[in-house]
Amino acid sequence: MVVETAICFAGGSSGHFVLHICSNILYNTEIEINSDGSCHAKTNIPDCIFVANEYALDSDSHKAEENFLNNIPNCKFLLGHMRNINLVASMSKRVIYIDFTNDDIKVLHDNIKHKAAHISPKAYEILRGADWPEYTDKLPLHIVNEINELNDKHYTEWNWLLPASASNVLKINFKDISNETWIEDLFGFLNVKPTIEKVNYLQRKLKEYKDAQSLHRDAISA
């Protein structure tokens, strides 16, 4: 296997937090939660490849995604907006994907709206329209609005490519992230026996995550 644990998720659906939970369960790493509720720091995560802005995430990008995944080196964690679970499962010891419904889309989109004004130069070039100006740290409002419209397609045109059956694939529903039941399932999936100390620690971190996010946004984010 090329990848030990892959985590696939749409933007804003808590993929980074799930990564931190998995890393703690498997390698006893500290879970870093920022004051705004984000968990993007990966300094404590061992051997993690984060797939970000490597291919255009639109309805025609499955081939680009496949080409990228076929060149992934060996790693303990693979994290990103990957939809081809069938391919990821064939190259990974285990795969976790965070599913969402149409009812979740508004929440997910709201979770990433703040990113439009701070988009990276690389992502800007991927999305760039014919009449868009050169990249700048302070993008015009109408460009930010266009980016938000394109980001909305990230969800409305999202479609998982799932295997018919796979014992190495676990689905977590985005709406369940606030609860503890998925963490219990995760222990079994990762084949790790939970301890009282570990469970208590993860419960505290889940509460910290929810509390931090409630101060800065309306719902759980990535």
Is the confidence at residue 216, as pLDDT, over 70? no
Q: Which domains does the chain have, with CATH numbers?
A: 3-104+159-216 (3.40.50)
Is the confidence at residue 59, as pLDDT, over 50? no
Is the confidence at residue 222, as pLDDT, over 60? no
Could you say which DSSP state residue 85 is in? Answer: H
Average pLDDT over residues 15-25: 96
Is the confidence at residue 29, as pLDDT, over 50? yes
Type of residue numbered 75? C
Query: CA triplet 3, 6, 10: central angle to 5 degrees?
Result: 150
Residue 8: count of CB within 10 angstroms of its CB: 26
Q: Are 77 and 23 in contact (CB under 8 A)?
A: yes
**CA–CA dist 182, 100 (Å, integer):** 14
- For residues 71 and 162, the model is more confident at 162
- pLDDT recorded at residue 169: 97
User: Of the given ranges (28-32, 109-113, 191-195), which has the lowest mean pLDDT?
Assistant: 109-113
- pLDDT recorded at residue 133: 87
